[in-house]
């Protein structure tokens, strides 16, 4: 139960941690861009307005104090009455004539707002215009004219300017912070919508959970990208990558089991699970087990998987033969620094004896390789002939395990007939590259070819920090 719990924890973290971080990064970037765009557009398209404020104090004339209401009520009513009077056309006519700017009464009425202030008898005069200097000038004109005219327009009233308006330095409208927040929300919304659309349209394999939705076949191993373990990038196709290379550049194809990293443990796990799915030491069988390794298309890591699986089996004591049957795009010879010919094609055309092309892989005990050989015009015809069956029977008598690097399934035609001669096929799927429909099509074509598929090998899998994640049982 603890092992299964660790497996679920590691798989969940590896499957969701990176996508969630990417989604958060995209949303933050979209929100930032939205805020910047909103800020810029508001600054360009919206005319800024400036509000200047001046203060006026109004009170009752002492001569008429005995005939007025109580002080508090009278003060409140007086301030309200004076505010209405200041905003009336009767007083704005004087303001329009005394201001240095040519404003009509209608424009002044819209720009001026008078409200009672915080203290009794205090009036706050606000003037909002698109020019800061003009707003301050008009506000000062309003309070000066009001201080002069209110006593004449309202009997028993005195008015005094208590604070003149300063030139505003910051626009009162638009609120750039509010605009930026609205832009950030809009950007995050559109970014989230784009993420949902991409997720719905994305048909690539994202992990073991995707494979479980495609098929009930088990995931026999999750292989991390060795270039990521070595600090490299992941921009190349795995078909062209060395099977395993340390960060110092030394080739580790013949020393795979010497380093206890995630990559090595993954292939050890694959060999153990392969033994469980297809017993390699079967005393009832005199011939070798033949295991095919294929993928949907090129560049998913099938050649690297076949090479490293053969190395692990050879170092585990099995007499192992690695055959490169991908005659159209062979990579085994250059990856293992072997002679490119003679090879399988030479054997099938009958130009060499069966044992002559076998090459010993130095550093890997009991491991031999049969490379693809010289290029031929129609490799499919060779792989479906009687010579290949006779060759496989002969090799099966001399080895315990034969690992065959098969051509990819989707573009293959008659080459699929070779998969019938295997005891089981491993389907290599690269996380983030393999498409769901290609995997389904591959499984259908292998089923039509009567090739038994043992399970999936997921390459470029997320690397877990827990060592137990690669020592778990077969994924169900």
- pLDDT score of 273: 92
In a domain, 475, yes or no: no
Strands (E), 181-288: 219-223
Do 156 and 241 belong to one domain?
Answer: no
CA distance 297 to 277: 25
Do 179 and 262 belong to one domain?
Answer: no
Mean pLDDT calculated for residue range 79-98: 88
Does the pLDDT value for residue 464 go beyond 90?
no
**Cβ 392 vs Cβ 290: under 8 Å:** yes
Tokens encoding 76: 């409140």
Please state whether 460 falls in left (phi above 0), alpha (psi between -120 and 50) or beta: left
8-state DSSP, 245: B
**Cβ 417 vs Cβ 383: under 8 Å:** yes
Domain end call among 163, 190, 217: 163
Q: Give the domain extent around 280.
A: 208-470
Please state whether 317 falls in left (phi above 0), alpha (psi between -120 and 50) or beta: left
Q: How crowded is residue 271: how many other Cβ atoms within 10 Å of its Cβ?
A: 23
CA distance 121 to 115: 11
Do 438 and 378 belong to one domain?
Answer: yes
Do 68 and 11 belong to one domain?
Answer: no
Do 24 and 121 belong to one domain?
Answer: no
Do 158 and 242 belong to one domain?
Answer: no
**Cβ 354 vs Cβ 361: under 8 Å:** no
In a domain, 72, yes or no: yes
Helix spans in 202-331 (H): 208-214, 226-229, 262-277, 302-315
In a domain, 476, yes or no: no
CATH number of the domain that 141 lies in? 3.30.70.1130
Do 122 and 146 belong to one domain?
Answer: yes
**Cβ 304 vs Cβ 238: under 8 Å:** yes
List, for residues 311-347, the tens digit of each pLDDT value.
999 888 889 999 999 888 888 999 998 998 898 988 8
List, for residues 238-295, the tens digit of each pLDDT value.
443 444 433 333 343 434 444 457 788 899 999 999 988 887 766 555 678 899 999 9
Query: What domain count does the chain have?
Result: 3
């Amino acid at each position: 139960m603890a092992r299964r719990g660790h497996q679920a924890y590691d798989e969940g973290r590896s499957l969701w941690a990176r996508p969630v971080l990417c989604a958060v990064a995209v949303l933050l970037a979209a929100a930032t861009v939205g805020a910047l765009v909103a800020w810029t557009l508001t600054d360009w398209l919206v005319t800024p307005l400036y509000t200047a404020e001046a203060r006026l104090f109004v009170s009752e004339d002492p001569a008429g104090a005995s005939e007025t209401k109580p002080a508090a009520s009278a003060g409140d009513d007086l301030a309200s009455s004076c505010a209405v009077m200041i905003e009336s056309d009767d007083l704005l006519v004087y303001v329009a004539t005394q201001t240095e700017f040519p404003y009509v009464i209608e424009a002044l009425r819209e720009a001026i707002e008078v409200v009672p202030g915080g203290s009794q008898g205090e009036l706050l005069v606000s003037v909002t215009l698109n020019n800061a200097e003009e707003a301050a000038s008009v506000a000062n004109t309003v309070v000066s004219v009001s201080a002069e005219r209110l006593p004449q327009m309202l009997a028993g009233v005195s008015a005094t300017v208590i604070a003149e308006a300063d030139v505003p330095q910051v626009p009162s409208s638009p609120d750039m912070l509010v605009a930026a927040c609205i832009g950030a929300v809009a950007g995050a919304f559109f970014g989230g919508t784009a993420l949902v659309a991409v997720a719905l349209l994305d048909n690539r394999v994202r992990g073991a959970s995707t494979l479980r939705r495609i098929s009930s076949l088990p995931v026999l191993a999750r292989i991390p990208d060795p270039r990521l373990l070595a600090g490299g990038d992941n921009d190349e196709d795995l078909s062209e990558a060395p099977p395993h290379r340390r960060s110092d550049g030394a080739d580790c194809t013949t020393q795979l089991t010497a380093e206890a990293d995630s990559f090595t443990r993954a292939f050890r796990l694959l060999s153990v699970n392969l033994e469980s799915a297809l017993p390699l030491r079967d005393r009832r069988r005199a011939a070798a087990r033949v295991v095919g390794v294929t993928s949907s298309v090129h560049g998913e890591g099938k050649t690297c998987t076949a090479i490293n699986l053969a190395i692990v089996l050879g170092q585990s004591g099995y007499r192992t033969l690695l055959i490169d049957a991908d005659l159209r795009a062979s990579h085994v010879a250059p990856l293992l620094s072997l002679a490119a010919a003679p090879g399988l094609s030479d054997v099938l055309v009958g130009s060499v004896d069966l044992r002559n092309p076998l090459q010993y892989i130095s550093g890997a005990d009991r491991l031999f390789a049969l490379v693809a050989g010289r290029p031929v015009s129609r490799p499919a015809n060779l792989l479906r002939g009687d010579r290949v069956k006779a060759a496989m029977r002969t090799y099966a008598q001399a080895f315990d395990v034969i690992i065959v690097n098969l051509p990819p399934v989707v573009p293959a035609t008659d080459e699929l007939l070779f998969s019938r001669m295997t005891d089981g096929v491993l389907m290599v799927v690269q996380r983030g590259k393999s498409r769901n429909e290609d995997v389904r099509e591959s499984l259908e074509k292998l089923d039509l070819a009567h090739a038994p598929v043992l399970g999936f090998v997921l390459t470029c899998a997320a690397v877990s920090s827990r060592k137990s994640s690669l020592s778990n049982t077969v994924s169900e």
